[in-house]
Homo-oligomer: A and B are copies of this chain.
Amino acid sequence: MNNKLQKYKQMKKFALGIDIGGTNTVFGLVNKKGDIFYSDSLRTKNFSKPTELVKKIYEKWLSIKILLKKNENIIGVGIGAPNGNYYTGCIEFAPNLNWKGEVYLSKMFKRYFSLPVYLNNDANVAALGEMIYGGARKMRDFIVVTIGTGLGSGFVANRHLIYGHDGLAGELGHTLYEKNGRLCGCGKKGCLEAYVSSAGLIKTVNEILLNSKQTSILRSFNNKTLTPLNIQKAAIKGDKLAIEVYWKTGTILGEKLADAVAITGPAAIFLTGGISFAGNLLIQPAKEAMEKNLLPAFRNKVNILQSELLSKNAAVLGAAAMVWHKIT
């Protein structure tokens, strides 16, 4: 018996962490310390049915398994996906995926893997990754904001995600920034996401280009070539208009972060997702605007930081963290 226990402890255990995005699905084997031992990716859009993607991942896993030693195995599957609901194991009406309606993804994975399966939305997964493997390792209360195609957020209170009664909490991107403001992808007007996101950033560039005569590198781009990365590069080169765009965007973000701080009292706010690579171009104005809008008792306490996992495979780590966090 003791012998068996010894052997059990020597086993190398992994979690299969999967990040399902609108374009690509990335997955990897992650040990408890957060080292990624293997990773691969598939084009999400190549799979018209979610079961086909699940089957393909399972086949990929079988081909990896052959390479593993006898004492190595996976103990569970963690998945991050847009609109993934932790409570129901279901992707619910994700606008950025080809699979429409309700997709019971956890069930599909369980059928193939016969292992515990955890699904969550991408922002919550990012928050769990930050908590277990990133900058929030020692924090009880913090917020992770992912800024990319959209603006997602994961709120952690007392080391637990705030899921809300239906698993849908954490939608900072759809709080109101400006009454009757820009039309948001969700159908409402003036949502934060309509200003602070890839599309929001580009819209702000176009607005400023129209209303000012300032010279700018950005005038040489057209609608197809103007990307957040080009805006970032211009700003880093000192392009005043590009810097102004980030300042405006960061200020809007900071104003709404102040509300989030007043409600949930985080020790820090971590930014992740493509747009947050802009770093201080975004963080500095966000911090200034947030501080201005905070109650005196909250001031000079809450840092806005880049995610420590920004350059790593954050979503795969976060998805794996669900497995480790639950099972051990």
Contacts and interface: CB of A to CB of B under 8 A. Distances in A.
Interface of A: 92-93, 139-142, 153, 155, 157-158, 160, 162-172, 174-176, 179, 186-188, 255, 258-260, 262-267, 293, 295-298, 301
A169 B143 CA distance: 13
A227 B274 CA distance: 52
Q: Is the interface of A mostly helix, strand, loop or mixed?
A: loop
Contacts of A301: 165-166
A263 B171 contact: yes
Nearest to A143: B263
A14 to B, nearest CB: 29
B169 A265 contact: yes
Given A176-B293, A188-B293, A162 B298 contact: no
Contact of A259 (B160, B166, B259, B265): B259
- The CB with the most chain B CB atoms within 10 A, among A153, A157, A186, A293, is that of A157
Given A92-B297, A175-B258, A296-B186, A166 B265 contact: yes
Contacts of A171: 262-263, 295, 298
A188 B299 CA distance: 12
Given A162-B264, A166-B301, 15 more contacts: A141-B165, A142-B165, A157-B160, A162-B263, A165-B265, A165-B266, A169-B262, A169-B264, A171-B262, A172-B263, A175-B262, A176-B258, A179-B255, A260-B263, A263-B264
B175 A263 contact: yes
A48 to B, nearest CB: 24
10 contacts: A162-B265, A165-B266, A165-B301, A171-B262, A175-B259, A176-B259, A186-B295, A188-B293, A263-B264, A264-B264
